[in-house]
Amino acid sequence: MSVARPAHSLLGRCIASTRTRVGSPAAAASSALPRQQFHSSAARAKRRSRFRNVKAEEMGLLDATALARYRRDKFPDYTSEELELLGAKYTPEQLEALRAGEEAVDPDDLIMQGRLRDDPYRPNYVEDFTVLDPRYDVRPKADVTPQEPQWPNHSEWADQYGLKMTQVTDKKTSDQLTRAMVRALRRVKESKGAELIDLTQDELKDLEDEPELLKKYLVEEGGEGEEEDHGRQAGESDMLTRAQAMKLDEAVETEWKKELDKLASTAGESELEPTNLELLADGPAGISRAYSAEAAELGKVPGVEGLYKSAADPEDEGQDDGGHYQEIKRLTGMTLKDIQSIYRKVLVTRWVSNQTRLGKVRSTSVVAIAGNGNGRLGLGIAKSTEAGLAAETAQLLAIRNMKPVRRYENRTIFGNVKAKVSGTVVELFSRPPGFGLRVPHRLFEMCRAAGIHDMHGRMPRSKNPMNSVKATYEALTNQLDPEAMAIGRGKKMVDARKVYYGGAVH
């Protein structure tokens, strides 16, 4: 940075101060002149926000009359007619719940914090949670019939699959014949006259597009509509002569043979075979199984029984089929529910490296604690190349290593305790009820796991994370026993406790 300009400015300021007398107008004028800064960069202008600052006065939040008017317009009380309508729609219990809910919400809070936007960028809608939007709020219902799961063997499945493919092929053949008959009827209608066939062109076109509609024009044998159909045919036969009816049959048969010949010459086997989509849909993983009912208990699947590992312990109710907690259950004698209810937390995580001939092998070292919150605390240390495996192993070791922690009145420790690990010193002090835990954060987690609620602690020397956890664990598990002190002094335990606390018994 160049200092010529600042030095020149400083020298000129000193010369000007020597030429003017103190208290003179010139001196006042010179002192009022702006001074240059002692650097060469230009002064930066004050930044202004890109957004407009809306004040409370502009929003009308300081005018009591405007707020009262806004409340009367936007949040009016129920009228007698509205109360009657609500009473007709809701039960007295529901009305009481509605009143309690409205009393819990202060309209003043809605006025001050929930005002409707009136700026030009406001959205043109208001969320109304009393109306369900079918696009988002109503879940579409799948019109399907649940199916019970079945487990056929290989031969049965092959027979069922072949039967389904045969039905698909027969349906395709029937549809092609129906379309050929519709085309023949259309030619006869166009050549011989529209009065001979009562089907319209639109109906014939629909039949050709969807052969399934043919069921609408067919009557089953022995059905209720058979007599009506005979009557209708009798009425038509009265209008047609015998020669016209024979001529119509010959024309339909001729066109039908032409369509069959054309169909036999052009249609190949590929048109009648099932497509790839149909093969997948009816296969073992097809869409036919997508809407099947999910059974609560499938039981043993025939053919695969005994090929897979069974549950490690049936008493775990399927929560530990992998067997992760079986060893800790054997060592501690606790159930899986008791183990999962134990409070566990990772306090220290370190990344270490081991120099080998293959290079540096990085590992993760984890220190974890475990406690039941009622006087038991454990410490576990594990190391692995995978951080997740190291954390899980450390927590399980902490559960296995849980030891009892002495607690005075189930809330604090017995007197003052001190422990030292390497260069870390931890000092713990008992405190009266309601004092709380005023300790570093790692000590706080250990006290919470052990069920200690009133204690003060400090670390006057090194605050190494791993050493602080070890020293705290050693201090909590090695407290002085008041009963042992009473036996050593030849006094009763009550007297020893009074002497131990110096007469201040909480």
Q: Which of 17-21, 72-76, 489-493 has the highest mean pLDDT?
A: 72-76
In a domain, 3, yes or no: no
pLDDT digits (tens, 9 = 90+) for 488-497: 878 777 766 6
With a cut of 90, say whether residue 446 has pLDDT above it: yes
Instruction: Mark whether 455 and 466 lie in a shared domain.
Output: yes
Instruction: Mark whether 74 and 176 lie in a shared domain.
Output: no
Mean per-residue pLDDT of the chain = 76
Instruction: Mark whether 396 and 415 lie in a shared domain.
Output: no
Instruction: Mark whether 400 and 415 lie in a shared domain.
Output: no
**Close Cβ partners of 488 (under 8 Å, ≥ 6 residues apart):** none
Instruction: Mark whether 450 and 491 lie in a shared domain.
Output: yes
Determine the pLDDT at residue 5.
Answer: 47
In a domain, 16, yes or no: no
In a domain, 444, yes or no: yes
Element (H, E) at 371: strand 359-371
With a cut of 60, say whether residue 129 has pLDDT above it: yes
Picking from 353, 384, 404, the residue at the C-terminal end of a domain is 404
Instruction: Tell me the CATH number at 329.
Output: 3.30.160.20
In a domain, 335, yes or no: yes
- The residue count for the chain: 506
Give the domain extent around 426.
407-505
pLDDT digits (tens, 9 = 90+) for 376-392: 999 999 999 999 999 99
pLDDT digits (tens, 9 = 90+) for 163-213: 888 888 888 888 888 888 888 888 777 776 656 676 777 777 787 777 777
Q: How far is CA 99 from CA 80, 87, 103, in A?
A: 15, 12, 6
Picking from 139, 170, 189, the residue at the C-terminal end of a domain is 139
pLDDT digits (tens, 9 = 90+) for 297-352: 556 666 766 676 666 777 887 788 778 888 999 898 898 989 999 999 999 999 99
159 residue type, one letter: D
Instruction: Mark whether 277 and 162 lie in a shared domain.
Output: yes
Determine the pLDDT at residue 49.
Answer: 66
pLDDT confidence tier of residue 71, bands split at 50, 70 and 90:
confident
Determine the pLDDT at residue 497.
Answer: 60
pLDDT confidence tier of residue 16, bands split at 50, 70 and 90:
very low
Closest CA to 433 of 354, 504, 486: 504
In a domain, 29, yes or no: no
Instruction: Mark whether 395 and 465 lie in a shared domain.
Output: no
CB atoms within 10 A of CB 326: 14
- Beta strands of 203-304 (E only): which ranges? none
pLDDT confidence tier of residue 253, bands split at 50, 70 and 90:
confident
Q: Give pairs for 456-462: CB < 8 Å, separation 24+.
A: 456/428, 456/429, 456/431, 457/426, 457/427, 457/428, 457/429, 458/426, 458/427, 459/424, 459/425, 459/426, 459/427, 460/425, 460/427, 461/423, 461/424, 461/425, 462/422, 462/423, 462/424, 462/425
Instruction: Mark whether 80 and 133 lie in a shared domain.
Output: yes
Determine the pLDDT at residue 57.
Answer: 79
Q: Give pairs for 162-171: CB < 8 Å, separation 24+.
A: 164/282, 165/274, 165/279, 165/282, 168/274, 168/278, 168/282, 169/272, 169/273, 169/274
Determine the pLDDT at residue 505.
Answer: 46
Instruction: Mark whether 113 and 169 lie in a shared domain.
Output: no
Determine the pLDDT at residue 283.
Answer: 59
In a domain, 289, yes or no: no
Instruction: Mark whether 73 and 107 lie in a shared domain.
Output: yes
* 125/291: higher pLDDT: 125
Q: How far is CA 203 from CA 187, 217, 273, in A?
A: 14, 11, 28
Determine the pLDDT at residue 448.
Answer: 94
